[in-house]
Amino acid sequence: MSHLLEVKNLDVKFDTDEGRITAVENISLSVDQGEVLGIVGESGSGKSVTAKSIMKLNPGNTSYNEDAEIILDNENVLQFTSKQDLKKIRGGKVSMIFQEPMASFAPAIKIGAQMVEQLLIHKNINKDEAKSISINMLKRVGIADAEKRFNQYAFELSGGMRQRAMIAMALSTMPKLLLADEPTTALDVTIQAQVINLIKDIIKEYQMGVIFITHDLGVIAQVADHVAVMYLGSVVEKGPVNEILKNPKHPYTKGLLQALPDINNLDAPLSPIPGNIPSPLDRPTGCVFRTRCPHHNPEGKDGKIKMKLIEVEPGHWVDQCGIQCGQNG
């Protein structure tokens, strides 16, 4: 069976005044229907750039490599150039939820009008139908007084409610793939728990594929089926969520887990990963993590080991340099 989304050997580079920056290098991922793929990593690891590539939303100075493929529903998105084709994916087959819902709604247009507008673009329906779909969707995500909220502006809603409205808007076109970029980061924990449960319910109900981007491993543990751990534009480890969180192999994944304060184990010291994330302008050759790796092997340290994912358990892939270092630590 073919995957809903398959990303193969994707490189994303940006041309800037200071030179060509590699934001993402040689990434391969896949998402099936009804499955949640979590992408974790620190800021600057290329999580959002990867997601935006799927909708070709990266800025004009972006270049993709020739042999990369992003296959969505049997079509290569990277080949799309016409507005007509791009419209099919942006908001049609793929929808996106962002971190800051205040910034993603237009402030001077009513929420309802924004929801209706996108439905009219993507679906062959009239205004009244669009309105009733929107109001039903607002009700579905748990907004009380949906009719009243439909005629309000984004600033009149609270943070949690705005994020619900954002989710309703993203889902009303019935996308096949949902990209959620840090959708709960700006929310309080109790609201975050509500939104996570809502997203899980909706995935089950509509059987869509989801890419869930976050820096919070706890959130990943709660929502994802599979996880990809990114560092400086490369996937260093990927696999089923249980494997990655309970049996991590790569020193970076281990480091992330050790830096996390665990409320059930207050005696464990917080151990930060030493050093700073290098600038993408001088990206290390060979293993990208070698400048901060606490257990580097001699060859990996010199950058002689190329990045390559190897399957260590069924479905659990780890960068080959990291396998060796992981055994040392």
Partner 1 sequence: MGDNLISVNNVSVNFDYQENFISKKQKIHAVNNINIKIKKGSFFGLVGESGSGKTTLGRAILGANKISSGNVIFHDDERDYDLTDINKQDLKEYRKKAQLIFQDPYAALSPRMTVRDIIAEPLEVMKITNSRQETDERVRDIAAKCRLNIEHLRRFPHAFSGGQRQRISIARALVSNPKFIVADESVAALDVSIQADILNLLKHLQSELNLTYLFISHDLSVVAHVCDVVAVMYLGHIVEMGPSRELFKNPKHSYTKALLSSIPSIDPEKRSEAIELKGEIPSALNPPPGCVFRTRCPNPGIDCKGGEITMGLTEVEPGHWVDQCCVL
Please work out the total of residues on this chain that contact partner 1, with binding judged by CB under 8 A.
42
SS3 45: coil
Return the bridge partners of 72, or none.
5, 75
219 binds partner 1 (CB under 8 A): yes
Is residue 216 part of the contact set for partner 1 (CB under 8 A)?
A: yes
Q: Are 7 and 69 in contact (CB under 8 A)?
A: yes
> CA–CA separation, 210 vs 157, rounded Å?
26
CB of 215 to partner 1, least distance (A): 6
Nearer residue to partner 1 within complex by CB, 7 or 230? 230
Does position 256 bind partner 1 by CB under 8 A?
yes
Distances (CA, A) of 303 to 22, 205, 283, 286, 298: 17, 47, 11, 4, 9
208 scored as a contact of partner 1 (CB under 8 A): no
DSSP state of 156: G
Residues 116-175 that bind partner 1 (CB under 8 A): 158-161
Which of 215, 295, 301, 304 touches partner 1 by CB under 8 A? 215
d(CA 264, CA 182): 25
Q: Which stretch binds partner 1 (CB under 8 A): 66-74, 169-177, 251-259, 295-303?
A: 251-259
Are the C-beta atoms of 31 and 3 separated by less than 8 Å?
yes
Binding string, 221-250, against partner 1, x = CB under 8 A? xx-x----------------xx--xx----
Select from 60, 107, 272, 298 the one that contacts partner 1 (CB under 8 A).
272
Angle between helices 127-140 and 159-171 (to 10 degrees): 130
DSSP label of 109: S
Contacts with partner 1, residue ranges (CB under 8 A): 42-43, 158-161, 188-194, 196-197, 215-219, 221-222, 224, 241-242, 245-246, 255-257, 259-263, 266, 270-273, 276-277
